Amino acid sequence: MTVKDIFLGLLLNRPAHGYELLGLMEAVLGDPWVINSGQAYSTLSRLERDGLVVPTTSVKSYEPGRTVYKLTKKGRAELRGWYARPVSRADRLRDELHVKLVLSLLGGPVSPAEIIREQRRYLLAEMHGLTRTRGLADPIDDLPWVLFLENAIAHLEADLRWLDTCESRLDDLKRIPHPRRPSRGRGRPPRQDVAE
Amino acid sequence: MELPENPTVVAQGLTKTYFNGNVVKALDGVSLTVRHAQFSCVMGPSGSGKSTLLNLIGALDIPTSGRLTVAGMDVGRLRGDALADFRRHKIGFVFQLFNLVPELTALENVTMPLLPYRRRLSFNLEARAKELLNRVDMGNRSDHLPGQLSGGEQQRVAIARALVNTPEVVLADEPTGNLDSKGGDEVMELLRDLCDEQGTTVLLATHNPRVAAFADRAFLLKDGALADDMSLERGQSLETLWARLGLS
């Protein structure tokens, strides 16, 4: 997902110029989505180049000199496709903590128990900070922001539960023999298509 | 052990052993300190000794060995009237199952801890109870029975009851264990706000990190022993989170 997808989503309701889109994005999605006008206008240029938006003069109420954009049919199709695609979590497959724990089991300067302990301290402290921030937000006026924080808190909870699971299985993990390097024979590998 | 300023709870080598056919060591040499007005939690899985620790601090049970000082009193040696006075004046309890009396209204439940001593009080007990119920947003339900209240509402009444004697220490054992996450968060925010306002020292037992996140300090128990002790202060959590999500 990029700012491009967000702009397409915002333009579905009504045409807008870049400055309006900046303000709308921040108002609807909150602080993490504050970007500068340069990024906003370069995004709009790319959208126009790709045929997803087009300048329109049909809306008269905007300030002169500002280009107002609207979605094209191609833009609507692109937006529909984005909504329909489930959000991938593939970025989690290469989890650094998982890697650290596994490597530490093979033998490292820090024990797996120590890694778990430090990570738990860090995660609990993060959760503390986010919980305090959520407590300061207005549950009605700041709802999108509250939901963002809830998302982050839920992920931290899941991480902490996983740490508890790892800690309870450490003895079992230590008993698993170290994997051996697959042996590679010398010379060329045998041909697989030789007819008998 | 170097003591922080104004320690309200000081445990040194606290041990509690039960004999029920086998020897069960519920607490094994726990040493910790809780500062005045600090909001702390004791975390750990079931059986780690959290409830035992809270019961000892609240003088509901006696240590097998070790030393325990709460609000300046050597709790392990308290007996008779001194013990009753300690529990009545120094400690407020919040339990997982609310423990409200079903036949009494919310207001009557809040007055309960001090009802036998009302003639000796320097304030009007009902007025105090009403004020606390207002403070926990239950002022307009003060004549309701517990059965007419939701779990979250009952726990709010329980918090008001725990504070009616302006205790120095509030002990909460899994206070949100019977609530959904939204109700639990509301109760925790209330408990935190009220105790911060009154400068009450809080120690709550939980296995739930979401609840622990409301505390400033966490003690981690494992098999009756103190496995970790951490400060939860975090100033940069949002910036860290945004960087982690690739948003900065």
The CATH number that applies at residue A64 is: 1.10.10.10
In a domain, B221, yes or no: yes
What is the length of chain A?
A: 196
B103 touches chain A (CB under 8 A): no
In a domain, A68, yes or no: yes
B232 touches chain A (CB under 8 A): yes
Mutate to test the interface with B, among A124, A138, A164 (most CBs of B within 10 A): A124
The whole-number average pLDDT for the span A136-164 is 87
The whole-number average pLDDT for the span B92-108 is 91
Task: Give percent helix, percent strand, percent coil of chain A, each to the nearest 5.
Answer: 60, 5, 35
In a domain, A131, yes or no: yes
pLDDT of A195 strictly over 60 = no
In a domain, B95, yes or no: no
**A79 phi/psi in degrees, rounded to 5:** -65, -45
Of B217 and B2, the structure prediction assigns the larger pLDDT to B217
3-state secondary structure A108-135: CCCCHHHHHHHHHHHHHHHHHHHHHHHH
The residue to which tokens 């002790």 are assigned: B229
The whole-number average pLDDT for the span B188-208 is 92
Pairing of the two strands A68-71 and B201-206: unpaired
A121 touches chain B (CB under 8 A): yes
A128 and A76 co-located in one domain: no
Residue A59 pLDDT level (bands cut at 50, 70, 90): low
Task: Report CA torsion sign: B14, B194, A147, A133.
Answer: negative
Q: In angstroms, what separates the C-alpha of A138 from chain B's closest C-alpha?
A: 13
Of A24, A56, A84, which one is at a domain's C-terminal end? A84
pLDDT at B248: 42
pLDDT of B245 strictly over 80 = no
In a domain, A195, yes or no: no
Chain B contacts of A160, Cβ < 8 Å? 209
Number of domains chain A is built from? 2
In a domain, A123, yes or no: yes
In a domain, A114, yes or no: yes
* Beta-bridge partners for A33: none
Chain B contacts of A152, Cβ < 8 Å? 241
Q: Which domain holds residue A44?
A: 3-84
A110 and A166 co-located in one domain: yes
Q: Using alpha carbons only, how large is chain A's radius of gyration in Å?
A: 26
Closest partner residue to B232 (CB to CB) among A125, A153, A157 is: A125
ipTM score above 0.85: no
Say which range, A95-104, A110-119, A176-185, B98-107, has the weakest mean pLDDT: A176-185
pLDDT of B1 strictly over 80 = no
CA distance B20 to A52: 75
The whole-number average pLDDT for the span B128-155 is 94
Q: What is the pTM (predicted TM-score) of this model?
A: 0.78
Residue B19 pLDDT level (bands cut at 50, 70, 90): confident
Q: Which domain holds residue B227?
A: 1-90+200-248
In a domain, B184, yes or no: no
Say which range, A25-34, A84-93, A155-164, A177-186, has the weakest mean pLDDT: A177-186
A123 vs B209: CB contact, 8 Å cut-off?
A: yes
In a domain, A183, yes or no: no
Rounded to a whole number of angstroms, the distance between the first and last alpha carbons of chain A is: 55
Number of domains chain B is built from? 1
Closest partner residue to A129 (CB to CB) among B209, B218, B237 is: B237
Burial A29-41 (b: 16+ CB within 10 A, else e): ebeebeeeeeebb
A125 vs B230: CB contact, 8 Å cut-off?
A: yes
Of A52, A84, A116, which one is at a domain's C-terminal end? A84
Q: What is the mean pLDDT of chain A?
A: 83
pLDDT at B240: 58
Of A174 and A17, the structure prediction assigns the larger pLDDT to A17
B241 touches chain A (CB under 8 A): yes
B46 touches chain A (CB under 8 A): no
Say which range, A12-16, A62-66, B230-234, has the weakest mean pLDDT: A62-66
Chain A contacts of B235, Cβ < 8 Å? 129
SS3 state of residue B14: strand
Task: Express as a percent the part of chain B with pLDDT over 90.
Answer: 67
Task: Express as a percent the part of chain B with pLDDT over 70.
Answer: 92
- Angle between helix A37-49 and helix A3-11 axes, rounded to 10 deg: 80
A129 and A157 co-located in one domain: yes
Residue A196 pLDDT level (bands cut at 50, 70, 90): very low
The CATH number that applies at residue B13 is: 3.40.50.300
In a domain, A189, yes or no: no
A97 and A163 co-located in one domain: yes
CA distance A22 to A44: 11
Are residues B109 and B100 in contact, defined by beta-carbon separation less than 8 angstroms? yes
Cβ neighbours of residue A47 under 8 Å, at least 6 residues apart? A4, A7, A8, A53, A69, A75
* Beta-bridge partners for A152: none
pLDDT at B155: 93
Task: Report CA torsion sign: A12, A18, A22, A24.
Answer: negative
Chain A contacts of B232, Cβ < 8 Å? 124-125, 127-128
In a domain, A169, yes or no: yes
- Return the amino acid letter for A147: L
Question: In this predicted model, what pLDDT tens digit does every residue of B178-191 receive, in sequence order?
Answer: 898 888 999 999 99
In a domain, B228, yes or no: yes
